[in-house]
Amino acid sequence: MSDFEIFLVCPPGLEQVLCEDAAEKGFADPQAVPGGVTVQGGWREVWRANLELRGAARVLARIGSFMAFHLAQLDKRSRKFPWGEVLRKDVPVKVQVSCKASKIYHAKAATQRIETALRESHGIPVSADAEMVVKVRIHDNQVVISMDTSGAALHQRGHKEAVGKAPMRENLVALFLRQCGYDGKEPVVDPMCGSGTFVIEAAEIAAGLLPGRSRGFAFEQLANFEPEVWEHMRTSAPSSTLNGRFFGSDRDAGAVRMATANAARAGVEVAFACHGAAEVRPPVGPPGLVIVNPPYGARIGNKKLLYPLYGTLGQTLLTHFKGWRVGVVTSEPPLAKATGLPWKPMGAPVAHGGMKVCLWQTPALR
């Protein structure tokens, strides 16, 4: 199969940030579109995207398309589609169909037609519980067929077992770090670190560790998978020296224990301490980035009780962290403003855990 479109899924609002990451990693013709980024490439680019892109939630390979104006036509063209080039007869698949602005408007009926074509014409088993997912989008009578090549969502790096009450997904953390201008060469401090996601992700970036190094992917079960090529790709990535230094603290001793264990599994060095945000102080050396995901009060605790916490955090940073940039993720603009920090214009809202959050950023504090 020659080059095709690869769709990199990401949280809406951060498409341009992922587009920059894809361009930096050398993917061809990255274009930000609603809900993600398209790039052009073959199967090895699909594997590389899963392995290397920190901000993607999953990677869809758009393996073909055809027009269909009614179910009989969908049935006939599904039977002729070259499924065997990609799918194996010993690996069951699940079919997911969405219909929009098309003469075929019944997704369930369309799903049944495609499932029957897979079973009867190609001998490919179909199961509602299958991990291998074929995604079919019928829009304006065009049937676009994609393979979900990731399997489990890509924020599941494979080395983080312990999480706190309201964890932020690693791919979202990576995109926020990129938005803050973090490039792996400066120290990073998180004074409310929870399970350590921000500082661990920052340390991995600095060390040149690939986000997908510790896990498996759905594409390993496809007919065109080349294990030797993949193993070389996975193990031959260059790693750089750890230039920055990474510090996380939390008033919850259980969170500090979790974060310490997570960092050890990830293979990175992060210094963790147990104390409140008011006690945080900058490490010796050049300034860098303070990034924090404080409680919002939406799910955990009472919002009114958080104003003093945000105020104390802001005062501590203004007093002790001169020269440092600050990034704060919150769903509540009044709480961000309660810090008294000199915010830049607010970024685009991003979906996180059923709510909209924004990244608030400062220039270097003076």
Are 201 and 298 in a shared domain?
yes
Q: Does residue 116 lie within any of the structural domains?
A: yes
Are 301 and 196 in a shared domain?
yes
Are 95 and 180 in a shared domain?
no
Are 131 and 181 in a shared domain?
no
Are 73 and 37 in a shared domain?
yes
Are 55 and 126 in a shared domain?
yes
Are 140 and 176 in a shared domain?
no
Backbone angles phi, psi at 303, to 5 degrees: -60, -40
Q: How far apart (Å, rounded) are the C-alpha atoms in residues 215 and 210?
A: 11
For residue 80, what is the domain's CATH number?
A: 3.30.2130.30
Q: Does residue 216 lie within any of the structural domains?
A: no
Q: Does residue 153 lie within any of the structural domains?
A: no
The H or E element that residue 351 is part of is strand 350-352
For residue 319, what is the domain's CATH number?
A: 3.40.50.150
**In this structure, is the dihedral angle defined by the CA atoms of residues 152, 155, 161 and 165, taken in order, positive or negative?**
negative
Q: How far apart (Å, rounded) are the C-alpha atoms in residues 51 and 41?
A: 15
Q: Does residue 246 lie within any of the structural domains?
A: yes
Are 105 and 245 in a shared domain?
no
Residues near 276 by beta carbon (within 8 Å), at least 6 away in sequence: 251
Q: Does residue 309 lie within any of the structural domains?
A: yes
Are 179 and 248 in a shared domain?
yes
Report pLDDT for 263: 94
Are 332 and 258 in a shared domain?
yes
338: helix, strand or coil:
helix
Q: Does residue 323 lie within any of the structural domains?
A: yes
Q: Could you tell me what percentage of the chain is helix, strand and coil, using 3-state DSSP and rounding each to the nearest 5?
A: 35, 25, 45
Report pLDDT for 348: 85
Q: Where are the alpha helices (DSSP H) in 225-280?
A: 227-235, 253-266
pTM: 0.94
Are 180 and 306 in a shared domain?
yes
Q: Does residue 223 lie within any of the structural domains?
A: no
Mean pLDDT by 10 residues, the chain (366 residues): 92 95 97 97 98 98 97 97 97 97 95 97 96 97 98 89 72 97 96 95 94 95 97 80 83 95 94 96 96 78 83 98 97 94 92 90 98
Task: Work out how many domains the chain is built from and give that number.
Answer: 2
Domain that residue 181 falls in? 170-209+238-361
Are 178 and 131 in a shared domain?
no
